[in-house]
Structure 1
Amino acid sequence: MIPSYFIAHGAPSLVLDNNAYTKFLGELAERNVKPKAIVVFSAHFEEHTQSVGVMETFDTIYDFYGFPDEMYRMTYPAKGDNEVAQQIMSLFHKNGIVSKFNTERGLDHGAWAILKLIYPNADIPVVSLSVNRELSNEQQYLMGKALSELREQDIMIIGSGGTVHNLRSVKWGMENVEKWAETFDDWLQHRLEAWDTESLFNYQELAPYGVDAVPTNEHFIPLIIAMGTGDKGKEAKLLHRSYQYGNLSLSCWEFN
């Protein structure tokens, strides 16, 4: 059974960086057999109704501005997978989750930037899934749980977001990490490794610096969804954690 992952996508320019995190992502594919398909929940794909994105070939969305010209020339022409998309729709229906197809939206940087680092050849079919910040954390978890059987077919599920993601607090050019960001991620690590869903579902009330780390929840949701896909084995493993700009966390969690 292939693991699921939560992968922080950091700043859009991550795909141009050369650091410990990008090196880690460049080697992540070696941990597993080549997936049959990749299902990715991106923090930047927000919908009120759960959307299942599929295209013959995905367009590349440049949902950022002010970055080097090279960023706007990058593409990630992954194929879609209608069969997997239909299966996802069936699993959602089976679990009482209302969903719809989206056949027009390409891959945003939350999806293509990390995929380009992990699977640069864009030779694995992709299905893109939206997030809904209005759902409870328990509902997010159940969203992932509903898709967990896909892992038995060597379909990789990725949640792309960020644990500490407060753009108003980032310190451009700062190399050291601020203590408050580490403190939040330490708390998060202990709760994930213990599979303490009760605390995790109430992280903003219980976690130190919860509101500072997660001022809006769209980047945190993919972590809860990815965790839900591991409900059967309940094993969470931190594979990497570093920071950029003082407090923007770059982390990868594996769920089995």
Structure 2
Amino acid sequence: MMPSYFFAHGAPSIVLEDNAYTKLLKEFKDHMPKPKAIVLFSAHWEEPVQSVGAAATYDTIYDFGGFQDELYQMTYPAHGDPALVEQIQKLLTAGGVKNVRDEQRGLDHGAWAVLKLLYPEADIPVVAMSVNRDLPNAQQYEIGKALAALREQDVLIIASGGTVHNLRRLNWNSEEVNGWAEQFDHWIQEKVGAWDTEALFQYEELAPYAEMAVPTSEHFIPLFIAMGAGDPGRNAQLLHRSYQYGNLSLSCWQFN
């Protein structure tokens, strides 16, 4: 069964960087069977109703400003998968998740920057998925759980976000990691490793420095979705964690 994954996507410039985290992403395909398709939830696509990307070929969205000119020349023209879109909608509906298809929206940087590092040839069909920060944490988990069966069909489920993502707290010139960010992530690591969803669903009240680490939840909830997709096995592995700019967390979790 194909694992599900949570990938932090960091800053848009991550696609140009050469470090331990981007090395892991670039070498990912060398250690995995090639997936039949990819289902990718991005923190940068927010909708009040779960949206399922149904574009024939995705446009590339440059939803950022002030970065290197090279980034605005990059494209990721992945094809969609109409049959998989239909299957996803049926699974979500069966799981009690209201959903709609979107045939127009392209891939934002939370999607294409990660995909370009993982599979630069853009030769695997993609179904982009939105997130909704207004749903309870337990319901985020249930969205991933509703799609867990896709893993048996060699479909790779990825949720892209960031556990510590507070742009107002970034220090673009700092190489020293802020202790509060590490303390929050260590708490998350302990609870995810133990599959303690009861505590995780209450992280806002229980985790140290949660308000600083997660000022808005759209980047954090992809972790719940990836975990939900891994519910059948409930085995979590932290494959990488590092930080940029003082506290921007770059982490990769595998669930199988």
Q: TM-score, normalised by structure 1?
A: 0.99
2-structure distance, mates of 1:155, 1:74: 25
2-structure distance, mates of 1:11, 1:81: 28
Counterpart of 1:11, as a letter, is A
- Name 2:151's counterpart in structure 1: 151
Secondary structure at 2:100 match in 1 = strand
User: What CA deviation, in whole Å up to 9, does each residue of 1:201-242 have, x standing for no partner?
Assistant: 000100000111000000001000000011111001000000
- Name 1:109's counterpart in structure 2: 109
- Name 2:18's counterpart in structure 1: 18
Alignment gaps of 5+ in structure 1 = none
Question: What does 1:1-256 correspond to in 2, within 5 Å?
Answer: 1-256=1-256
Secondary structure at 1:97 match in 2 = coil
- Structure 1 stretch 213-222 or stretch 173-182: which is displaced more? 173-182
Alpha-carbon shift at residue 30 of structure 1 (Å):
2.1
1-structure distance, mates of 2:186, 2:119: 29
Counterpart of 1:187, as a letter, is W
Alpha-carbon shift at residue 55 of structure 1 (Å):
1.1
2-structure distance, mates of 1:215, 1:182: 16
2-structure distance, mates of 1:132, 1:86: 21
Counterpart of 1:122, as a letter, is A
1-structure distance, mates of 2:13, 2:54: 25
2-structure distance, mates of 1:25, 1:92: 29
2-structure distance, mates of 1:45, 1:31: 29
2-structure distance, mates of 1:157, 1:29: 14
User: What CA deviation, in whole Å up to 9, does each residue of 1:145-181 have, x standing for no partner?
Assistant: 0000000000000000000000000111111211111
2-structure distance, mates of 1:122, 1:79: 8
2-structure distance, mates of 1:140, 1:31: 29
2-structure distance, mates of 1:31, 1:224: 24
2-structure distance, mates of 1:182, 1:10: 16
2-structure distance, mates of 1:69, 1:170: 22
Alpha-carbon shift at residue 56 of structure 1 (Å):
1.1
Alpha-carbon shift at residue 31 of structure 1 (Å):
2.5
Counterpart of 1:169, as a letter, is R
2-structure distance, mates of 1:28, 1:215: 30
Alpha-carbon shift at residue 18 of structure 1 (Å):
1.0
User: What CA deviation, in whole Å up to 9, does each residue of 1:181-209 have, x standing for no partner?
Assistant: 11110000000000000000000100000
2-structure distance, mates of 1:43, 1:134: 13
* RMSD after superposition: 0.6
2-structure distance, mates of 1:54, 1:161: 21
Counterpart of 1:191, as a letter, is K
Q: TM-score, normalised by structure 2?
A: 0.99
1-structure distance, mates of 2:207, 2:117: 31
User: What CA deviation, in whole Å up to 9, does each residue of 1:28-83 have, x standing for no partner?
Assistant: 12221000000000000000011000211100000000111101000000000001
Secondary structure at 1:168 match in 2 = helix
Secondary structure at 2:191 match in 1 = helix
Counterpart of 1:13, as a letter, is S
Secondary structure at 1:111 match in 2 = helix
Alpha-carbon shift at residue 95 of structure 1 (Å):
1.1
2-structure distance, mates of 1:143, 1:91: 9
